[in-house]
Structure 1
Amino acid sequence: MNKTTLLAVNGTLMCGLELNGNMTAAGGVFVREDQTDPHYRFWNIGDRHPGMIRVTTGGTSVALEVWELPLASFAALLLSEPAGLAIGKVTLRNGSQLLGVLAEPRLVENQKDITAHGSWRAYTGHFHST
């Protein structure tokens, strides 16, 4: 029985960013950098974190990180995420799907669209080498 899952993250849980300590405290292990397929839009939520939603038109590929996370700590990590973020299936550029952090549509209302940046790191200027 698999006791871990892969989780795609696109914001402050990424290496070196504000909430990455929550990921590592939950036993998360960095696997790789990746990208979504070109069907996502991305918003800056209150200058604190991003929100990503899958769309039919007008999307782009969003840069993200894939982490391996113990199932036993999965719920605790999710509870530490900001309100309005949820887990859903994210489609990667190679067509595969895995669990990832997505925004509820109401969360992005009246927020700044940062889709053109393609990543939270590009938008904020916080780059990290893994």
Structure 2
Amino acid sequence: MENVQLAVNGTLMQGLELNGNLLAVGAVFVREALTEASYRLWSIDDRHPAMIKVKTGGSAIALEVWNVPSIGLGEILWQEPPGLCIGKIRLANGEIVLGVLGEPSLCEGKKDITQWGGWREYMNSLGTKPLT
């Protein structure tokens, strides 16, 4: 069975609400990483984040890289909240991996949380533990 590297930046991360979706398809945690400094992150009603690549004004965003069986990738995507999709993400080390991104329309009118550098950091700033 072929595997792919998948970068996740929100509730799919270790110990969070949807991490079980990765574990259910046999995904294995590889490492923590940062994106290159060309992404922005929004809070979608403080339930989950959405990350978008931008031409200007981007920052590095904290995420996790997982080794996922290819056959399970579709199942993971179907269980993601509406407006999230799989695309290519460039990491700070130049590596390109598949990852969870947000559709631009999902972020309209939502809170830009890029300054916190990641979902966990943002939720910690609220004094809220991310849902598990």
Amino acid at match of 1:21: G
Deviation per CA, 1:50-69: give whole Å up to 9, x if none: 00000111110000000000
**Percent identity between the two aligned chains:** 56
Aligned to 1:115: 114
Shift of 1:119: 0.4
Aligned to 2:48: 49
User: Whole-Å Cα distance in 2 between the matches of residues 72 and 59 of structure 1?
Assistant: 32
Shift of 1:96: 1.3
User: Whole-Å Cα distance in 2 between the matches of residues 106 and 29 of structure 1?
Assistant: 31
Unmatched runs of 5 consecutive residues or more in structure 1 = none
User: Whole-Å Cα distance in 2 between the matches of residues 11 and 105 of structure 1?
Assistant: 17
Aligned to 1:16: 15
In the alignment, structure 1 residue 62 sits paired with structure 2 residue 81: no
* 3-state DSSP of counterpart to 1:75: helix
Amino acid at match of 2:79: S
Q: TM-score, normalised to structure 1's length?
A: 0.94
Amino acid at match of 1:107: L
Counting matched residue pairs gives 126
In the alignment, structure 1 residue 84 sits paired with structure 2 residue 86: no
Unmatched runs of 5 consecutive residues or more in structure 2 = none
* 3-state DSSP of counterpart to 2:5: strand
Q: TM-score, normalised to structure 2's length?
A: 0.92
| Consecutive aligned runs of 4 or more in structure 1 exceeding 2 Å deviation | none
Amino acid at match of 1:102: L
Deviation per CA, 1:15-69: give whole Å up to 9, x if none: 0111101111111100000000000000000111000000111110000000000
* 3-state DSSP of counterpart to 2:50: strand
